[in-house]
Chain A
Amino acid sequence: MADQIGHDLNVEGVTKLYGEFAALDNVSLTVRRGEFLTLLGPSGSGKTTLLMSIAGFVQPDRGDIQLDRHSIVRLPPERRNFGMVFQGYALFPHLTVFDNVAFPLRIRKCSQAEVQAKVNAALDLVQLASRADRYPRQLSGGQQQRVALARAMVFTPHLLLLDEPLSALDKNLRSEMQDELKRLHKRIGLTFIYVTHDQDEALSMSDRIAVMRDGRIIQQGSPSELYDQPATRFVANFLGRSNFLRGAVDAHIPGGFAFTHQGTRFTQAVPGGDCPAPGQDVVLALRPEKISIVDGGAPSDNALKGVISEWNYLGAQFRLVVDTLEFGAVVIVIPTWKSGAPPATGQPVSIGWDASAATLVSDN
Chain B
Amino acid sequence: MRALLSRIASTETSPATDVAGALRPPSPRRLHGAMRYWLLIMPALLLMLAFYLYPIGRVLWISVTEPKPGLDNFALLATSASIHKMLVTTARISILTTVITLVLAYLVAYTLVHSGERGKRWMLLGVIVPLWISVLVRAFAWFILLRREGLINNVLIASGIIDSPLSLIWNETGVVIGMVHYMLPFGILPIYANMNDIDQRCVAAARGLGATRGAAFRKVFLPLSMPGVIGAGILVFVFSLGFFVTPALLGGGKTLMIAEYIKVQILEIVRWGVGTMLAATLLVVIGLLLAILGRIIDLRKLFGSV
Contact = CB atoms under 8 A, between A and B. Distances in A.
B1 A240 contact: yes
B305 interface: yes
B223 A241 contact: no
Interface string A282-301: 00000010000000000000
A44 B303 CA distance: 37
B17 to A, nearest CB: 23
Contacts, number: 88
B210 A78 contact: yes
A135 B303 contact: yes
Interface string B200-240: 01101111111110011001100110000000000000000
B41 interface: no
A84 B304 contact: no
Nearest to B2: A241
B305 A93 contact: yes
Contact of A241 (B1, B205, B207, B208): B1
Given A86-B204, A94-B223, A94-B224, A314 B5 contact: yes
Contacts of B220: 92
Given A103-B209, A107-B210, A288 B219 contact: no
Contacts of A170: 11
Interface string B1-29: 11111011001000000000000000000
Instruction: Give the most central of A81, A107, A136: most B CB within 10 Å.
Output: A107
A183 interface: no
B163 interface: no
A137 B1 contact: no
Contacts of A137: 304
Contacts of A92: 202, 205-206, 220, 224
Given A78-B211, A107-B215, A241-B2, A90 B205 contact: yes
A137 B301 CA distance: 11
Interface string A166-184: 0000110000000000000
A155 B210 contact: yes
Interface in A193-247: 199-200, 240-241
Contacts of A199: 3
B268 interface: no
A83 B208 CA distance: 7
Looking at chain B's contact residues, the main secondary structure is helix
B188 to A, nearest CB: 22
Interface string B153-170: 000000000000000000
B117 interface: no
A135 B304 contact: yes
A79 B209 CA distance: 9
B1 A288 contact: yes
Give the interface residue-count category, chain B.
20 to 34
A288 B4 CA distance: 15
A258 B192 CA distance: 69
A151 interface: yes
A151 B211 CA distance: 13
A88 to B, nearest CB: 7
Contacts of A107: 209-211, 215, 219
A88 B199 contact: yes
Given A93-B224, A93-B304, A171-B8, A151 B201 contact: no
A334 to B, nearest CB: 13
A103 B2 contact: no
A77 B207 contact: yes
A76 interface: yes
Interface in A125-156: 135-138, 151-152, 155
A56 B212 CA distance: 13
Contacts of A57: 204, 207-208
A200 B4 contact: yes
B210 A81 contact: yes
Given A92-B220, A240-B1, A333-B1, A77 B201 contact: no
B149 to A, nearest CB: 51
Nearest to A55: B208
Interface string B49-87: 000000000000000000000000000000000000000
Interface string A24-64: 00000000000000000000000000000001110000000
Instruction: Give the most central of A56, A81, A103, A333: most B CB within 10 Å.
Output: A103
Sort A-B residue pairs by CB-CB distance and give the 5 closest, nearest first.
A90-B201, A104-B209, A90-B205, A84-B208, A135-B304
Interface of B: 1-5, 7-8, 11, 199, 201-202, 204-212, 215-216, 219-220, 223-224, 303-306
19 contacts: A55-B208, A77-B208, A83-B208, A86-B204, A86-B208, A91-B205, A93-B202, A93-B224, A94-B224, A94-B303, A103-B211, A137-B304, A138-B304, A151-B209, A152-B209, A171-B11, A241-B1, A314-B5, A319-B1
Given A90-B205, A108-B210, 17 more contacts: A55-B208, A78-B208, A78-B212, A86-B204, A86-B208, A90-B204, A92-B205, A93-B202, A93-B306, A94-B224, A94-B303, A94-B305, A103-B209, A107-B211, A151-B209, A171-B8, A288-B1
